[in-house]
């Protein structure tokens, strides 16, 4: 198994983005925060950590009460942190790529209000947009991205293709062309042009929703101006050696399976996988004393006595070490060239800068 030299990644000026992926409950957000803090403090890099996860775990791990869509400096540390606000990011795209009056119309459109807040895939689109904004600003030496704790964590990689399918869909092109024709309301024009089809659409959607959709579709060209191109550019950046993907897992079957899934997904997308952080690993100060020898020694000493109790605790620990090693092997045997860093289990949850520094020192 190859050792993962985390500091070599964090200190490399050619690496500008680190993306952390992993299942829930493995300490991924804590790891992302610890990586960012170590890059800032130990390597002097101007670093921002961005979480796409809608939960508040990053703020908690940094000892903050809240985070928002704008980078803010962490107290008592040379580190900046932010949390993706899907709605605000979408609004920023509109404001940047449309005239003020047009932007007001878009913001007031019910279809836009629904899409910008709840539409499937918007979170991933806006994650790609925000990452592209941060990278294009060239303000940061390193951007650390904390992805959501699920298989959807890498959905933002599909954002360019999914957006293209959405914008190029036959129905949307039909509606968009009709909306741009001007002169008559969307519903009347569709009725005149498409007869029975329009009646079916009206029956399903209703005239008001169709009108709302008309206004939304007619604004697509300006609202999404260049978005697909920017998303595709960001996708290429993620394939570039300037990006390092870091998998995070605990030595548990489900977490290791998810890590293997992510590794395969990155391999398919030709994304640069830097290594695996195996978190919450148990170790022994006396590894040469295995579980069986410890149990036998305890049995010889009898039921009572501190030494016998210590030996039994050591027996349980060594059995756990063996189990964790066997579980981790499901990943390391399948991906023998992926470097692995083992982080020992911490006695308490990490929720402050001191705890993050301890994690960083353990890499």
Domains by residue range for the chain, with CATH: 6-157+237-286+330-362 (3.40.50.300), 166-223 (no CATH)
- For the chain, the distance separating the N- and C-terminal CA atoms, rounded to the nearest angstrom, is 16
Q: Residue 42: its pLDDT value, please? A: 96
Structure tokens at 135: 């990278």
Q: How far is residue 276's CA from residue 263's CA, in Å, rounded to a whole number? A: 9
Query: pLDDT by residue (tens digit) across 306-333?
Result: 899 999 999 999 999 999 999 999 999 9
| pTM (predicted TM-score) | 0.83
Q: What is the mean pLDDT of each run of 10 residues along the chain (363 residues)?
A: 91 97 89 96 96 78 82 91 88 83 81 70 78 90 87 68 59 52 44 46 50 61 64 86 96 95 92 96 93 92 84 94 96 96 89 91 92
φ, ψ of residue 257 to 5 degrees: the values are -60, -40
Q: Residue 260: its pLDDT value, please? A: 95
Q: How far is residue 175's CA from residue 182's CA, in Å, rounded to a whole number? A: 12
As a three-state string, the secondary structure of the chain is: CCECCHHHHHCCCCCCEEEEECCCCCCHHHHHHHHHHHHHHHHCCCEEEEECCCCCHHHHHCCCCCCCCCCEECCCCCEEEEECCHHHHHHHHHHHHCCHHHHHHHHHCHHHHHHHHHCCCHHHHHHHHHHHHHHHHCCCCEEEEECCCCHHHHHHHHHHHHHHHHHHCHHHHHHHHHHHHCCCCHHHHHHHHHCHHHHHHHHHHCHHHHHHHHHHHHCHHHHCCCHHHHHHHHHHHHHCCCEEEEEEECCCHHHHHHHHHHHHHHHHCCCCEEEEEEEEECCCCCCCCCHHHHHHHHHHHCCCCHHHHHHHHHHHHHHHHHHHHHHHHHHHCCCCCCCEEEEECCCCCCCCHHHHHHHHHHC
- Exposed (0-12), middle (13-18) or buried (19+): which is 202, by Cβ within 10 Å? middle
Q: Residue 296: its pLDDT value, please? A: 92
Q: Identify which of 363, 307, 281, 352 has the alpha carbon closest to the alpha carbon of residue 79.
A: 352
Q: Residue 141: its pLDDT value, please? A: 97
φ, ψ of residue 197 to 5 degrees: the values are -60, -45
Q: Residue 224: its pLDDT value, please? A: 59
Q: Residue 98: its pLDDT value, please? A: 80
Angstrom distances, CA of residue 318 to CA of 123, 173, 256, 294, 327 = 43, 63, 20, 9, 14
Q: Residue 31: its pLDDT value, please? A: 95
| Max Cα–Cα distance, the chain, nearest Å | 95
Q: Residue 194: its pLDDT value, please? A: 42
């Amino acid at each position: 198994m190859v050792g993962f030299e985390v500091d070599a990644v964090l200190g490399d000026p050619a690496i500008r983005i680190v993306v952390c992926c992993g299942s829930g409950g493995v300490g991924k957000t804590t790891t992302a925060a610890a990586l960012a803090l170590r890059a800032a403090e130990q390597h002097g890099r101007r670093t921002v950590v961005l979480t796409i996860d809608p939960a508040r775990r990053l703020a908690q791990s940094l000892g903050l009460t809240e985070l928002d869509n704008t980078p803010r400096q962490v107290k008592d540390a040379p580190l900046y942190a932010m949390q993706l606000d899907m709605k605000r990011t979408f609004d920023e795209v509109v404001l940047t790529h449309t005239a003020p009056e047009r932007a007001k119309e878009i913001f007031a459109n019910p279809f836009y209000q629904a899409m910008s807040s709840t539409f499937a895939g918007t979170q991933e689109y806006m994650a790609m947009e925000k990452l592209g904004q941060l990278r294009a600003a060239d303000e940061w030496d390193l951007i650390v991205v904390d992805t959501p704790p699920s298989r959807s964590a890498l959905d933002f990689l599909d954002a360019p293709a999914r957006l293209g399918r959405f914008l190029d869909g036959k129905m949307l092109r039909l509606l968009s062309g009709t909306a741009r024709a001007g002169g008559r309301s969307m519903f009347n024009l569709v009725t005149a042009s498409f007869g029975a089809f329009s009646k079916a659409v009206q029956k399903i959607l209703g005239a008001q929703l169709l009108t709302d959709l008309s206004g939304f579709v007619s604004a697509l060209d300006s609202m999404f101006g260049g978005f697909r191109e920017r998303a595709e550019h960001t996708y290429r950046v993620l394939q570039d050696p300037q990006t390092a993907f870091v998998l995070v897992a605990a030595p548990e079957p489900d977490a290791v399976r998810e890590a293997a899934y992510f590794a395969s997904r990155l391999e398919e997308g030709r994304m640069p996988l830097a290594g695996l952080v195996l978190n919450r690993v148990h170790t022994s100060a006396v590894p040469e004393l295995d579980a069986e020898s410890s149990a036998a020694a305890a049995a010889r000493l009898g039921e009572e006595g501190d030494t016998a109790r210590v030996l039994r605790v050591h027996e349980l620990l060594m059995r756990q070490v063996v189990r964790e090693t066997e579980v981790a092997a499901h990943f390391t045997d399948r991906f023998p060239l992926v470097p692995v860093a083992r982080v020992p289990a911490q006695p308490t949850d990490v929720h402050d800068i001191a705890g993050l520094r301890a994690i960083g020192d353990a890499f």
